[in-house]
Structure 1
C-alpha cells in the first residue's frame, strides 16, 4: 500500500536528521526480534509439549514399562556401534511404541544432558499439524535450533527473503530438506540423536521422509536415528535394512509382556487409591487385566479408563464384559454406545468421524452431523456426547480426534454392522448434502469484510468469531463426499443431486472461491472441480449441467493466481477477463465491480489454454511431460527446474543446484529420474520423489544444450557446445563414448524409438549415429545453415527439422526431404509429434503454436496467447493436451479437443510496438511492425482509421496538441505527419541518417523536433516541411526530446548519459547535465518550466533544476515521464502518476531515495496489476499484460494496453475505487 508521509510541525511522517542513542542495543534488539519471528513461523508444534501431552494422556510415563529396551542387545549395539546409525522399533497397534520412545528420550537426556542434541517428533495421523513429512522436519529443526541457537543461521539465510512461506508453500519440503542437511553438516553440531515416532501415521510425504532418513544415516554416521512404526512392508522396503537395526516388539514378546504387567500394576494401584478398591477387587482386576491384555498397553489403558468412570461396586461386573484383544474391546465399547440414552447422536458422530478426511472442530461438527436442535449449538452438551464415545474419541483444543488410529480403523471395518447400518456410501451422501447446506447458509461476499479488491491474502486476519468456522471443512471436501456417495456406482446423478450442484454453481460459486482463497485451498478447489467435471461426464448428465461445470472448472483454473493472492479479486478480474459467453461470468454479472465503467472486449469463448503456470523468474527454456502424463517439468534461465501438477497448476517441487541457467530437461522412460542440462557445463540426475540430486555428470565443455534418454533408460545422451555428443551410463555416472564429427555446436539430439540410432542437429549438418559403434551412418541434406530442433516420429520412420520459418520432414532412410511446412512469420524453435504420428506441433518466435495435419500438410489450428517467443512444446500421452514454454516466463497447457479459436480485435497483423492517447483521451493510436498506424475508438473498441504508407516498422508516434495530426517515426530514418481528418500523409520529413527515436510537437504546433540515432536533434518547420536547424553535440543516440513550456528551450536525453538544454534562439547548447550512470531514454519539463525529469536504463528518475543543472531528487521508476499539466507536483510515468509534493516540501533528499506515492491509476512493477494510489486493484491475466511499459497508456481514467494479439481498453471511475483511499 502507499503511505502518506509529511514533515512539519505535527512531527509526522519522514524525518531525516541525526540519531543519538543506543544504536547498537537497538540493532541487537531488532536482531533478537527477527530471530523470534523466524522461530514463531517455523514452529508448527513444540515436540516437547507433544511429549508431555502424550505422557499425561496415558497417565504418566512408567519407567518399568520401557527400561527393558535399555538392556536389549540391538539397542545397545545401536548405541555403541559407530557404524550402526539407524534403529527401527516396530510393532502392532497398542504395543506401547510411543511410550517406549518417550522413555528412551528421557534416558538419553539423562545420560548426555547438554553435551548432545536430542531432537524428536511424534506423528499423529488424526492431527493435520503433525501428520506430514514437512511438519516432521519443522519439528526436528525447531528442537535443534532452540537447543543450539547458532544453528538458526541456516534457517534465517532462507527465511530473511522468503518469510513464513518458506515453511508453508509448495516448495517447503525441498527448502527444509536443504536447511536440515546444512544443520547436520554444521561443524559446531555436537553428538545428535534424532527420534521420530509413528512413521505409519505420517500420511503425506512418507516416501520422501524415509528416503531422506536413509540418505542422512548413510552420509552422516555421527547422527544417530531412532524411528518407530507398525510392521508395514512399505516402510521396511524403504529403510535400508543393511544399515538399520530393527527391534520387533513381537519378537521381544517376553520383555513386552513383562512391561505390560508392570503397567497393569501401576494402573491398578492408581484405581485402588482413587476408587478405594478392596484387596479382593484389586487382585481380581489385576488378574483379569494380566490374562486378557495380550501384551497390549492400549487395551489396558482403555479398560482402566472405563473402570475409572464407574462406581467401584460395578467394577467386577463391568470387568467381565471386557473381552481380550483390541478389536473385541472396541466391539464391547460400541455395545455400550448402543445402550446409552444418546445412542443415535453418538452413532452419527462416530460414523461421520470415521469417514471425514481430517479431524473436525465443534463448529464444523454441527454442520456435518444431524443432531437434535438442543445439541447443535451447545458445546457443553456436545462434549458430554463425545465423552460417551470416549473409548474412540477425545477432544483436543476444541477439535475432535480419535484416541488411536486403531479405533478409526475398527469403526470403518464395522460401519455397516452397527455404527451406520445404511453404509459408508450413504453417510458420504449425507455429508455432501449437509456440506452444501452449510455453505449456502454461511458463504457470502466479503465474508471477512476485507473491502479492498487487491488486499493480499498474507495480510488477511480472521475476525473473531470466525464466520467461516462452520463451513471450513465443507468448502474443501464437499465434492469428495459426492464422489464417494455411491453415485459412481449409479448410471446417473439423482434429480436432487443435479439441482443442488447447479444451484450452488449459479448462486454461491464465487463466494466459495473467496472462501477457498481465505483458507489457502485454491489448489484443492481446482482438484474438486476437475473431479466433479469427470463425474458429470462419466454419468452422461444433461449437456447444460456439464457445460456449467466445465465453465466453472476453466474459471478457477484460469484465474487461480488472482484469486489465490487476493480473495476479493474473484469479483473483479475474473468477471472482466473471462470470455463474454462464459456461464460463470454471466451468472455473476451482478457482482462485477462498479468502478469499471467500460470493460475491455475479450474473447467470446475460452481459449484452448487450460492453465498458465507461473513461478519461474526468467525464461522457460525447456519442458517435458512425465511418461504417464501426471507431471510436467520445466527448465528455466532462473537456474531451477520445477515439477508441476498439470491438473491443479500447482508447483509440486523446485529443484535447485545448478549454478547457471538450465537449458534442457528429460524424463527417464520409467519416470523415476529426471535429467537436466545446464550452462554450468553439467548434467544433473534428480529423483523426482525426493527432489534430490542423485548424481552429477561432469566433463562437458560449454553449455549442455540438449539431453535425451535412450528408450530403455540405460543411456543418456548430452550435447555440449564443443560440437560433440556424449553418451553416458547413468548408473555409474561415467561417459561411455563421445561422438565427434560436427563442425558446429549441436542444437538438438534425439534417439530413434528402438534406441538403435541417435540423430544430432548442428549449425551445419544433421548426422545419424550408431551409438553402439559411435559411427556416423548418415548425413541429411541441409537447406540453410541452421537447424534448431530435431525430432523423430514415434515409429522412427520420419525425422523433423525446424529451421528458420519452416519445418521439414525427412525420410531418414534416404535422407530426402518429403514435406515442407511453411506458415510461421518468424523463426521456428521446436517441433513435437503427437503420439499417433498424425499431427505435428511447431512453435515460433512469432509467439504462436501451430498444429499441422500431416495427412494434408495443412495448418489445422493456431494457438495464441503467449506474449513472447514460444521456446518448447510437449504433447501429453493422451494426445488431448499440449504444453508450451515461453520467454514470457510462463508455461501454458492447451486443450486441443474442445478449445475454441481465440477471437481478437481486427487490426494489426504484427506486434504492436507503441501506443499513445490523444490529449482529450477519446482516441488511441497504435503503431505496429505491420508498418501501419491505427486510430482506435476506445468506447466501442473498434479501429476508426488506418494510416498506411510506411516501408518500415513504426517505432514512435505522438499526437499534435489539438489532436488533428499525428507524427510517426520509423526505422527508415524519416518522420511522417498525418492528417487525421483525411487519413493521408501530409508531409514526409527527411534528413536523418539513422533511426528516429523520438519526436515532439512545439506547444504552438508550428514546429516539430526529432531525435535520432545519428546523434542529432532536428527542428522542422511544418509549414514548409524543411529542416530549420540541426542541433549537434551528443556523442551517442539521442533517445528523447522535450520543449520547454515557453518554447524558448529544448532538452535532449542521450545514450551518452547526458541531458542537454538548448537555447532555440541561437540553436546552441547552454547546459550539459551529467549524473546518470546509464543511457537516458526519456525526459520531460514541468508545466512551469522550473523542473526537469529524466529516466535512464536503470529505471532511475532524476529531478533537475534546469537553471543550475543540479539534481534535486533521484527516485526509482520504470518507463517514460511527463509532468502533469495542472499540478506541478504530479509526475506521469508509464506505470502511473506520482505525487512529488512532499519531496519538494523537504527540499532535500536522502542519498538512496525510493519511489514516492503513486497517485491515481497505474501499473505495478511486474505489470501484473492495475493499481490505484499504489495499491493493487485489478489483476491482469498473463496475455493481457504489456510486454513493455511503452505498451501501457493512461489518459485520466482511460487505460489502454497493447497485448501481443490485441489492444484492450478500460474506463474506470473518477472516484476512488478503494474505500478510504
Structure 2
C-alpha cells in the first residue's frame, strides 16, 4: 500500500474472543485469529487467501508464518497443519496421540523446522508438557523435550535453527539441538504403573551394525551407541506386555512382539506403525517365539500347539512350516534362530517342570535342531537339568535368582547354549552328543555367541572366551566352582563379578561409580556394553579398541 492509503478488510469478532494479528515476514500476508476461526489476507490486493472457518471446531492458539513467507502452520486440537500460501494447499498434517493437544507452533527462521508445544495428561491424570520439532520437508520428528508438569509460556528459535529458547513462568532455558535428539525431565513419580511392574526391564536389542540400541521401559527407546543419545521414543506401545524387540536388517525399523498386540513393525524415523502381522503369529505367548538377528524370520508355535510357524519378515508372508512334534507342543518352552536364520532350536520339558514339589528336581529337557529351509530335523539331544523352587544363592554373587531360561544356537547349527532358570549355570550342547555344564553366574546377562566373529567364541559378563578353552576349563574344575574360575581365559572388555569395574583381558581397568553399575540387567557386543541400573536407566559404554596401556604391554 502507498502512504496514506487505508485498506479495509471485512472481519467480525466472534463473541468475546481475543483477536490475534500476525504479519508474514515479507508483509504480504496478514493472519487474523478470533475464536476458532483464522483468516489470511493478501495485503496488497485485500484478497482473502485462506479462510479456515470453524476448522473442525478445534482451532487453537495462533498460526506461524515460515521465514520465507511461503507457508503457514495452524495448530489444531490434536496436531497441526501446514499450508502453502501460493497454491492454498495443505502440504503436511501431524497428529498427536489421543488426549493430547497442540498449544503453540513456531517456524524456524530458515523455514526448515517447526517446533510445537504439546499438552496432555499421563496415566496418573497429571498434566504434562512436551516440545517436539519436525522437519517440514519430510514430516519426520527431529527432537523431543519431555518437560513434565511445568507450564511453558513460549518458545523461540535462534536464527541458525540450532538453539531453542523455552520460556517458563520463572525462567528461560536454552536447548542446543545439535547435542541431543531427546530429553526427559520427568521423575520416577510420573511413571505409569506398567513401567514400575513391567517385565520389559530386561529387553535390550542391538541393531545389526551395533550402532543402535533398543530398550523398553516406560517407552521403547532407540539409542545411538556412538553418542549415548536417544534418537526415538515409542511411547504408544504398552511396554508391560512387550516380550521381544528386533531391529530390521537396515536398522530403519523395529519389530515389537507383545502378548496383547502381537507382532508389529514400526518406522524409527517417523515413530509410525508400518505393519501389524496376523494374530495367528502366537499372540499371547511369551516364550515360544524367536527372531533371527537382523530380521529375516520370526518363529512361533502355532495356536493349536502342534507345529511351529515361520514368517518371512522381509516379504511379510508365511513360509512353509512342517516342523511338528509327535507329542505336540504343550510343554514347548523356548525357541531360538541362528544369526544367519539357517537353523532353529526348540526346547521342551516334561510337564513336571511346571510344578516343582521339592527344593530342586531334575527334569529332562529335549532340544531339537531344525533346518529352516528344508524343515528337516537335523539332530536332537536330551539333558537332565536341575530346576529350583524357592531361593537359590549363587556361589559367585551370593544373591537369590529366580529368572527365565535362555537359549541360543550357533551359525553352523552344531552348538547350543542353554542357561538354567536359576541363572547360575549354562549348558553347552553339541551335535556330537557332548553335554558340558558351565558353572557361570548369569544373573545379569544371557551368554551368547560372539556375533562379530565365528562360532568359536562366546560372550560372557567377564569378556569373550574361546569355546575350546571354556570346555577344557570346565572339565578340570572340581568342587563347587564359580565364574571367577574363567577370569584367566577371558579376552577383551567385560564387567567384573562385583560389577564395579570394566575389565580388559580379565584385568580391572576402569572403575565404575555406583550410579553407573549394572543392578538389573546387561547386554553386550564385543565392543559395546550396556548396563541397566535399578532405575531402568541404561549406561552405554562403547570402545573403539584396546585400552591405551595395552599397546605398551
TM-score norm. by structure 2 comes to 0.46
Q: Which has the higher helix share?
A: 1
Q: Which has the higher strand share?
A: 2
TM-score norm. by structure 1 comes to 0.23
